[in-house]
Structure 1
Amino acid sequence: MKNEQVIEVNDVTKSYGKVQAVQGISLSVEKGEVYGVIGPKGAGKSTLLEMLMGVRKADSGSISVLGLDVDQEEETLKHKIGIQLQATSLFDRVKVKEALKQFHSYYNKTRSLDEIIGLCSLQPYLNKYVRKLSGGLQQRTALAIALVNDPEVIFLDEPTAGLEPQARAELWDIVQLMKEEGKTILISTHDMEEVQTHCDRVAVVVEGKLFASGTPDELIAQLPGGDGTMEDVYLQMAVFQNGVSA
C-alpha cells in the first residue's frame, strides 16, 4: 500500500529580484518521516521551508501540506503545523512559562502544557528568562513552543546549530518521540552525522534546484565507489561537483 503523502511540492519557483532562490523544485514527504534538507549556504533551503510553512508565497508551482494549499488555506494550515522559532525570535523579557502559555493561547487544539514541559524537561527553568538560558535550553524551549498545538508536521530550521553534543542528543530524543507518534518532521541542517543517523530521506538542494534525493544509503551509493558517509555526499554533490562554497 502506498504511504500517505503529507507534503507535495510541484515545480515551485521563488525569486528575489534577479536572484532565483528556488528553481523548479518538486518533492514529496510521507507521513511519519524525518525528512532532511541539506545544501550549502544560499542554496535556497530556508526559502523552500518558508514556502512549505506558508510564510512566503511561491512565484509559481504548487505546494500542498496535509492536503491544504499553503497559499489559499494558510490560516487553517498554521493550526496543524509546528515551527521551531530561532531563539532570537523569542521575547527578551519573557520567562519560559510565559512564552509557553502565550503561544498555547493562540490555538484551538493544543497539547497539555504539563506534558510538553515534561517531554522537553523544562520544569526547572519555567521561571527563568529565555534570554538567560543556555543555547541548548533556548532551543529546547523553542521546540516546546513548536509542539503546543500538537502539530501533525513539524519544521526545524538548523535546530542544533551551535549546540553542545549533550544538548543535540537531547533535542534528537524529542524528535524521535515525535516520529514515534506518527508526526512528520522536516529539518534543515549542516550536520551530516545527524542526517545520516536520524533522517529517513534527504533532499540535496544546490543553487535553488533539487540536485538529488533519497535515503542516506541511496545517496551514499551514488558516490564514486558506492560507499562513504553523508559528509562525502555533501561534499561531492553540494560543494565540489557544483563549484559552490560550503
Structure 2
Amino acid sequence: MDKQTIIQVSSISKYYGANKAIDQVSFQVKEGEIFGIIGTNAAGKTTLLEMLMGLRMPDIGNIKVLGHDTLLETDSLKEDIGIHLQSTSLIDKMNVREAMELFQAFYKRKSDLECIIDQFGLAPYANKVVKRLSGGWRQRTALAIALVNDPKIIILDEPTTGLDPQAKKDYWALLRQLKQQGKTIVIASHDMEEVQRNCDRIGVLRKGELVICGKPLTLISELPGGGMTMEAVYMQYAMDVKGVLAYRD
C-alpha cells in the first residue's frame, strides 16, 4: 500500500532582497521516508528546512505538513515536528537531562524522557554538562531533544558534520531505528555515502532550484555517461559539472 504524503511543497520561492534563495521548488515526502537534501553551501538547504519547520515563510507558493499550512497553522505544526539544527549552543551549559526537560516544556505532547535516554544510550551522560561531551554524544543529545514531543516528523540540518566515522555510523543507526518506529525524517547532509545508503529518496538543490529528485540508485544509474556513487550525482547536479539539469520524481 502506498504511503500517504506527509509533506507537500508547492512552487515555493524565497527572496532575501534581490537574492532568490529558493526558486520555484516543489516536492513531496511520504510518511515513514528518510528524505535527503543535498547541495553545495549556499544552495538553499537551510532556508528550505526552515520553511518546512514554519520558521520562515515562502514569498511565493505554499507548504503543507501533515495537512497544516505552515503559514497559517504554525502553532499546530510545531507539536508534530522535532528539530535538530547545527548549533547546540543553547544547551551547552545544561546537563543532558536538564536540556531535555527544558525543551519538553515547550510542548503539549510529551515523550517518556527516560525511554529516550535509554534508547540513545545516554544514561551514563544524563547528568553531565552537554558542553563537556564529545561531538558524537553532543549530536546524539541534540537528536534526543528533537524527540521530546514524540514528533511525527524530524528535520535535521547537517547533523553529522565534523563527526568521526564511528560517530556518524552510530548517528545513522539511530535514524534507522526512528524510521522503523514510523518517524518521517528530512535531513540535509554533505555525507554522500551515508545518504546513498540510508535515504529512500534524495533531492538535489543547486542555486535554490531543485534540479533532480529520486531514489539514490535510480539517480546513480541514470547519470549521463554512467556513474557509480552518489558523489558522482552530487558533482553532476549540485555542481553542474556537465551542465545537465533535470527533475525527476
State the TM-score, normalized to the length of structure 1.
0.95
Secondary structure in structure 2 of the residue aligned to 1:155: strand
1:94 Cα deviation (Å)?
1.0
Matches within 5 A, 1:71-150: 71-150=71-150
1:211 Cα deviation (Å)?
0.3
1:3 Cα deviation (Å)?
2.4
Secondary structure in structure 2 of the residue aligned to 1:118: helix
Supply the AA of the counterpart residue of 2:171.
L
Stretches of structure 1 that go unaligned for 5 or more consecutive residues are none
Pairwise CA RMSD of aligned residues?
Answer: 1.3
Aligned mates of 1:65, 1:86 — CA distance in 2: 22
Does structure 1 residue 25 correspond to structure 2 residue 25? yes
Secondary structure in structure 1 of the residue aligned to 2:82: strand
Please name the residue that 1:49 is paired with.
49
Aligned mates of 1:43, 1:13 — CA distance in 2: 13
1:36 Cα deviation (Å)?
0.2
Supply the AA of the counterpart residue of 2:136.
G
Supply the AA of the counterpart residue of 1:202.
I
Given that residues 154 and 186 in structure 1 are in contact (C-alpha distance below 8 angstroms), is that contact kept between their aligned partners in structure 2? yes
Please name the residue that 2:247 is paired with.
none
Supply the AA of the counterpart residue of 2:134.
S
Supply the AA of the counterpart residue of 1:97.
R
Please name the residue that 1:241 is paired with.
242
Specify whether residues 161 and 242 from structure 1 end up closer, same or farther in structure 2 by C-alpha distance, changes over 3 A only: farther
Matches within 5 A, 1:203-222: 203-222=203-222
Aligned mates of 1:209, 1:232 — CA distance in 2: 19
1:242 Cα deviation (Å)?
5.1
Question: Cα deviations across residues 191-210 of structure 1 (Å, max 9, x unaligned)?
Answer: 00011100000000101001
Supply the AA of the counterpart residue of 1:230.
M
Please name the residue that 2:187 is paired with.
187
Question: Cα deviations across residues 152-205 of structure 1 (Å, max 9, x unaligned)?
Answer: 000010011010111111111111111001110000000000111000000001
Supply the AA of the counterpart residue of 1:96.
V
Question: Cα deviations across residues 59-99 of structure 1 (Å, max 9, x unaligned)?
Answer: 01010001100110000110100001334332332111110
Given that residues 87 and 139 in structure 1 are in contact (C-alpha distance below 8 angstroms), is that contact kept between their aligned partners in structure 2? no
Stretches of structure 2 that go unaligned for 5 or more consecutive residues are 245-249
Supply the AA of the counterpart residue of 1:195.
V
Question: Cα deviations across residues 199-229 of structure 1 (Å, max 9, x unaligned)?
Answer: 0000001010010000001111221344411
Secondary structure in structure 2 of the residue aligned to 1:11: strand
Specify whether residues 60 and 175 from structure 1 end up closer, same or farther in structure 2 by C-alpha distance, changes over 3 A only: same
Secondary structure in structure 2 of the residue aligned to 1:23: strand
Report % sequence identity.
50
Secondary structure in structure 2 of the residue aligned to 1:90: helix
Aligned mates of 2:130, 2:52 — CA distance in 1: 28
Secondary structure in structure 1 of the residue aligned to 2:144: helix
Secondary structure in structure 2 of the residue aligned to 1:106: coil
Please name the residue that 1:15 is paired with.
15
Aligned mates of 2:40, 2:242 — CA distance in 1: 12
How many residues are paired up? Answer: 243
Given that residues 110 and 149 in structure 1 are in contact (C-alpha distance below 8 angstroms), is that contact kept between their aligned partners in structure 2? yes
State the TM-score, normalized to the length of structure 2.
0.94
Aligned mates of 1:204, 1:121 — CA distance in 2: 33
Specify whether residues 208 and 85 from structure 1 end up closer, same or farther in structure 2 by C-alpha distance, changes over 3 A only: closer
Aligned mates of 1:2, 1:91 — CA distance in 2: 39
Question: Cα deviations across residues 26-78 of structure 1 (Å, max 9, x unaligned)?
Answer: 00000000000001110001100100000101101010001100110000110
Given that residues 13 and 60 in structure 2 are in contact (C-alpha distance below 8 angstroms), is that contact kept between their aligned partners in structure 1? yes
